[in-house]
Amino acid sequence: MSDLKPELKNLPIGVSDWEAIRKADYFFVDKTAQLRNLVSKPKIFLSRPRRMGKSMLCSMLKNLFTNGVRDFEGTAVHDLWTEDQGSDAVINLSFYRVKGDNLASFENSLISKIVTAYKLAGYPEVEAFAQDANNLDNFLDKLNQISRKDYLVFLIDEWDHPLSSNLGDEEKYNIALTVLQTFYSWLRELDHLRFVLVTGIMRYKSTSLFTGQDIRDISMDPDYASLVGYTHEELITNYAPYIKEAARRLGISEDELIAQLEAYYDGFCFDEEAKVKLYSPWDINLFFDAVAPNSSPTKMPKFQPYWMDSSNAAEALKYYLQSRPTDFKELCELKYKNTELTAKAITSPVDFAQISVLPLLAESGYLTIKGIKQGGSNPTFYCGLPNREVLDEFDWVLMDHINTRISKSNKKLLSTVKQGLGKALLQGDIKSVCYLLNEIFSGILYDTFKFPHEALYRTLIAGWFRDVATEVREETPNYKGRSDIELTIGDKFYVFELKLIHNITPNDNKRSFKDKYGLLKAASQQIISKGYAVNPHTEGKPVIGVALVISNMRRCIAAWHQFDANGGSCGLVSTVNLFTKYLEEQNRQQNQDDDNLD
């Protein structure tokens, strides 16, 4: 066991209650320096993706307003807080589990949450209010007798979850919208309010929350860029003993570990000056939990998509993509190409019908600010995927969505074809690989290719390879360029270069024949001249270069060239549908095996 173990504390995995963290002596990063200045503003809205620390922020503020600095010994806010302890009642609400299949059940769900929050704040009479009320309007009217006599603090977390979780179901979205309109109209009209903080992800019109100038949106304010989340400096300073122990177990230097953490988890940026990059605390705490005192002394830290697995960002995007027309070309290009968004496009409240994919990606954390293209009152930002974790999971979301667009008859046979794909790659049989890929292409609904582009084909091919290969990389850079696809399977290492051709005619005339071979030659020379196979991760495996020419007209691979140090081969790919023939061959082989057993 490392001699650093006594310096390490257990990490608050899944614990966002500030009092519980202090009582259990969990490790934490002090994020309290800005809290005194924060509460000097009457009403605030903060948008951040999930798992960035918004719930912890609400818990710290609740504790400060309720107990003063009792639980903040040793923190920055301890000597800054001037509020009288317990002078204002705190109504702490989370809308995360507020839901219902109809208007009445949704109202009852919200009323139950409000009752619990008011009782915890010292108002047991609200239970009787709920029993006497016929609906949400009536219940909120009864609450006014409390709100008129006492000053209240409202801390509302996940305000938009009932809406954001129903982007694929307009009926449920509208039910939630109706109820939220009632609640936020009531909240805006309250007079005796000491402080209001509302946190969430998206901004929606018609909820009354953003009507007028009552609430200040600090989401892109540089002064609060690091209010939640960890900066790189906070990571290397506060987690120094964890970094040392994790690096020791992984057998790498501390600098190497920090570089990997930065590549995999850093990069979230929300401020209009595009200066502050952040890590999700959820990612960092789960990564270092392997070396915490409550873990096995031999447990190894792992780079896994902790934030993506828990933030629900993937599910929200899946629901959205299933319910709206999608430009797959645009989505595929996002993986390696920045897009442009204005501040208003990111922050302006929207209705259900107005929601578009890029602002949704930006607010949910898939896209982040990379730089400023143009300043002014409505600046334009370069936006891209923040880090390796999001990039890897973004691929899975895209492939999951595209797989829903495979025709039902072909979807049943997809797994069988994929097995053949893995076998062909292991055998170095690129001709069969091309035929099998074309079989999957032939089963995808035609409008997926409405905006055909090399990035779309690369995403599809790499996605299907991931189901069978040990490791698949797209756009892998070296000192001369970027390869399209690299994959490892068994003892083989492949480098694929794709070329798109637009003018192949149905009859494969002489020009199209010449074009295909010309592109094959260009792609093969590119692999060699750019040194795509010369990478550390080849690990001495035999390198196979593969050039593929893809026909945009037919939405399939039209020609291939396979080569290695010993030579190569090439060929055209027929457009006949071989899906049935492939299965017939599998059945024939199975019948032959059965006969041999007899």
Mean pLDDT of 572-578: 61
Is 129 found in the same domain as 52? yes
Domain boundary among 358, 390, 422: 390
How deeply is 235 buried, as exposed, middle or buried, from its count of CB atoms within 10 A (0-12, 13-18, 19+)?
Answer: buried
Q: Which residue, of 326, 358, 390, is where some domain finishes?
A: 390
Q: What is the DSSP letter of 6?
A: G
How much is the pLDDT for 596?
Answer: 55
Which pLDDT band holds residue 308 (cuts at 50, 70, 90)? confident
Residue 197 CA to residue 93 CA, distance in Å, equals 10
| Local confidence band at 2 (pLDDT 50, 70, 90 cut-offs) | very low
Q: Is 13 within the bounds of a domain?
A: no
The pLDDT of 246-256, averaged and rounded, is: 96
Per-residue pLDDT, 316: 62
Do 209 and 106 lie in one domain? The reply is: yes
Would the pLDDT of 445 be above 80?
no
The CA R_g of the chain, rounded to the nearest whole Å, is 28
What is the C-alpha separation between 558 and 560, in angstroms, rounded?
Answer: 7
What tens digit of pLDDT does each residue of 140-154 get?
A: 999 998 877 888 999
Task: Report the alpha-carbon distance of residue 401 to residue 404 in Å, rounded.
Answer: 5
In this structure, the answer to whether residues 386 and 419 fall within a common structural domain is no
Asked if residue 412 has pLDDT above 70, the reply is: no
Tokens found for residue 449: 């290719």
Q: What is the pLDDT of residue 511?
A: 46
Query: Is residue 541 helix, strand or coil?
Result: coil
| Confidence at residue 420, expressed as pLDDT on a 0 to 100 scale | 87
Together in a domain, 80 and 161? yes
Residue 451 lies in a domain: yes
Taking residues 270-289, what's their average pLDDT?
96
Indicate whether 462 pLDDT > 80.
yes
H or E stretch at 339 = strand 339-342
Q: Which of 105-114, 223-232, 357-366, 396-405 has the lowest mean pLDDT?
A: 396-405
Asked whether residue 78 is assigned to any structural domain, the reply reads yes
- Asked if 18 contacts 26 with a C-beta cutoff of 8 angstroms, the reply is no
Q: What is the pLDDT of residue 405?
A: 67
pLDDT at 180 (0 to 100): 94
Over the stretch 74-123, which tens digit does the pLDDT of each residue have? 999 999 998 888 788 999 999 988 988 899 999 999 999 999 999 999 99
Nearest C-alpha neighbor of 579 from the set 416, 466, 449: 416
What is the spatial distance between Cα 113 and Cα 102, in angstroms, rounded to a whole number?
Answer: 17
Q: For residue 401, what are the contacts with CB-CB under 8 A and spacing of at least 6?
A: 318, 321, 322, 326
Q: Does 107 map to a domain?
A: yes
Residue 325: count of CB within 10 angstroms of its CB: 8
Min mean pLDDT across 44-53, 234-243, 415-424 is at: 415-424
Residue 71: pLDDT band with limits 50, 70, 90? very high
Residue 237 confidence (pLDDT) above 60: yes
The better pLDDT of the pair 519, 61 is held by: 61
86 with 202, same domain? yes
Lowest-pLDDT range of 14-28, 60-74, 480-494: 480-494
Model confidence at 509: pLDDT above 50: no
* pLDDT of 547 above 80: yes
- What pLDDT shows up at residue 329? 73
Give a yes or no: residue 274 inside a domain: no
pLDDT value of position 63: 96
Question: Whole-angstrom distance between the N-terminal and C-terminal Cα of the chain?
Answer: 59
Which tokens is 131 given?
């029993």
Q: How many CB atoms lie within 10 A of CB 88?
A: 18
Judgement on whether residues 353 and 470 belong to the same structural domain of the protein: no
Residues 324 and 422 in one domain: no
The DSSP symbol for 487 reads E
The Cα 220–Cα 46 span in angstroms is 9
CATH of the domain at 129: 3.40.50
pLDDT at 4: 42
Question: Per the domain annotation, does 219 fall within a domain?
Answer: yes
Q: How many CB atoms lie within 10 A of CB 124?
A: 11
Q: What is the Cα 37 distance to its own chain's centre?
A: 31
Strands 471-477 and 380-384: unpaired
- Cα–Cα distance for residue pair 271/269, rounded to 1 Å: 6
The token pair at 248 is 């020791």
> 1 falls in which pLDDT band (50, 70, 90)?
very low
* Secondary structure tally for the chain: helices H, strands E: 23, 14
Q: Is 336 in the same domain as 376?
A: yes
Q: What are the two backbone dihedrals, phi and then psi, of residue 558, each rounded to the nearest 5 degrees?
A: -105, -25
Give the pLDDT confidence score for residue 409 in this predicted structure.
Answer: 58
Query: Is 432 found in the same domain as 357?
Result: no
Asked if the structure places residue 163 within a domain, the reply is yes
Which DSSP string do the residues of 384-421 spell out, in sequence order?
E--SHHHHHHHHHHHHHHHHTTB-HHHHHHHHHHHHHH
Comparing 446 with 208, which gets the higher pLDDT?
A: 208
Q: Are 385 and 394 in contact (CB under 8 A)?
A: yes
Residue-number span of the structural domain to which 92 is assigned = 31-224
**pTM across the whole model:** 0.81
What's the rounded mean pLDDT across residues 465-470?
88
- The structural domain count of the chain equals 3
Least confident range from 38-52, 279-293, 521-535: namely: 521-535
214 Cβ contact partners less than 8 Å away, ≥ 6 residues apart:
43, 188
Please determine, for residue 424, whether its predicted confidence score (pLDDT) is greater than 80: yes
Residue 119 token pair:
């009782």
In angstroms, the CA 249 to CA 289 distance is 13
Give residue-wise pLDDT tens across range 322-331.
666 666 777 7
Average pLDDT, the chain: 85
97 with 143, same domain?
Answer: yes
Whether 492 and 413 map to the same domain: the answer is: yes
Instruction: State how far the Cα of 54 lies from the Cα of 198, in Å rounded to an integer.
Output: 10
Distance CA 401, CA 84 (A): 53
Residue 73 to residues 68, 70, 81, 227, 229: CA-CA distances in angstroms? Answer: 11, 7, 12, 19, 21
